[in-house]
Amino acid sequence: MGNFFKNKYIISLILATVIILLTMAIFDSNRPNISFVENVTGVVITPVQKLFTTVGNWFGGFGTYFADVNKYKKENAQLRAQVREINDGIRNLDVLRNENERLRRMLDLKETNPELDLESAEIVGKSPGNWYNTFTIDKGLAAGIARKQPVITADNALVGYISDVGNTWAKVVGIIDPSAAVGAIVVRSRDIGIAEGDVTLSKEGYAKFGYISKNTNIIIGDYIETSGMGGIYPKGILIGQVIQIRPEIYNISQYAIIEPTVNFDKITEVFVIKNPVEEY
């Protein structure tokens, strides 16, 4: 108990001494020279002042940090909005460019084939599985579409023919479908044959150019187009390119495998030829 009061007394004495020294330092601050006691006092209080100054600066910097964060967040949001506007503008330009290209190709097609009565249509449905065999377009009876009418692309490449039709829709059978067949001719040699779908080849996206003899002048790389024979398709529509030549059974004749010009995976728009068959 005695030690407690003794220690308490010593602590009180030290605090009183510090207070007196601080008071002396304040009142004698204008003197040119400082005393030993003042120097000691400065040594004691300087670290304390430094600590308070450091803490104050830290809190000040902390507040500035949050102010900068809010500023950067606002600027970031503004930049994001500008990026969205730029991206929207780019997409709109792409749409306009694609539309302009579509209209240009359609005009070129009509100028190249002024005798053809063409109706543009968009693909709106694809059959399950090998969807490229058949698909649905958004034009039908109301637009003058009828069964057996040929279907082509803006690049004058053969797609297939109309198989079924409703008032505002129609189904198209692609040239690689096993039910499709068209009179065809080799562009280079003018040898004729039949381009048709094949069950096995259709799975690979190819068609067959058959009914040709072993003496037919055909080579890999030849282009095949419609011959105009058969009463459905006009002549001169590009079908595809020969990628392989194979012998038929018993090696009596041969046939070629055709890679269609039309990319059935990406096609989105077609043109229906509405001319009566006898006009070809």
- Tens digit of pLDDT for each residue in 152-200? 998 899 999 999 999 999 999 999 999 999 999 999 999 999 999 998 9
CA distance 117 to 265: 26
Residue 129, pLDDT score = 60
CATH of domain 118-279: 2.40.10.340
Residue 72, pLDDT score = 76
| C-alpha R_g of the chain | 44
Residue 52, pLDDT score = 55
Residue 5, pLDDT score = 47
Q: Which residues on neighbouring strands pair with residue 135, listed in sequence order? A: 126, 172
Residue 94, pLDDT score = 74
Average pLDDT on 9-32 reads 57
φ and ψ of 76, to 5 deg: -65, -40
Residue 4 predicted with pLDDT over 50: no
Residue 207 predicted with pLDDT over 80: yes
Identify the CA nearest to 272 among candidates 166, 170, 194.
Answer: 170
Task: Name the least confident of 84-93, 101-110, 120-129, 167-176.
Answer: 101-110
Selection from 100-104, 148-152, 198-202, 214-218 with the highest mean pLDDT: 148-152
Cβ atoms of 139 and 119 within 8 Å: the answer is yes
Average pLDDT on 138-154 reads 94
Q: How many CB atoms lie under 10 A from the CB of residue 269?
A: 15
Residue 232, pLDDT score = 86
The predicted-structure confidence for 45-96, as pLDDT tens digits, reads as follows 666 556 656 655 665 665 666 666 777 778 788 888 888 888 877 877 877 7
The predicted-structure confidence for 215-266, as pLDDT tens digits, reads as follows 889 999 999 999 988 778 999 999 999 999 999 877 788 999 999 999 888 8
What is the residue extent of each domain of the chain? Answer: 1-112, 118-279
Q: Which residues on neighbouring strands pair with residue 253, listed in sequence order? A: 213
Residue 6 predicted with pLDDT over 70: no
CA distance 168 to 185: 34
Residue 279 predicted with pLDDT over 60: no
Task: Name the least confident of 13-17, 136-140, 197-201, 243-247.
Answer: 13-17
CA distance 184 to 277: 17
Higher pLDDT, 188 or 21: 188
Residue 63, pLDDT score = 61
Residue 120 predicted with pLDDT over 80: yes
Residue 131 predicted with pLDDT over 70: no
227-245: string of b/e by CB count within 10 Å (b at 16+)? bbeeebbbeebbbbbbeeb
* pTM more than 0.85: no
Token code pair at residue 13? 């004495």
Residue 18 predicted with pLDDT over 90: no
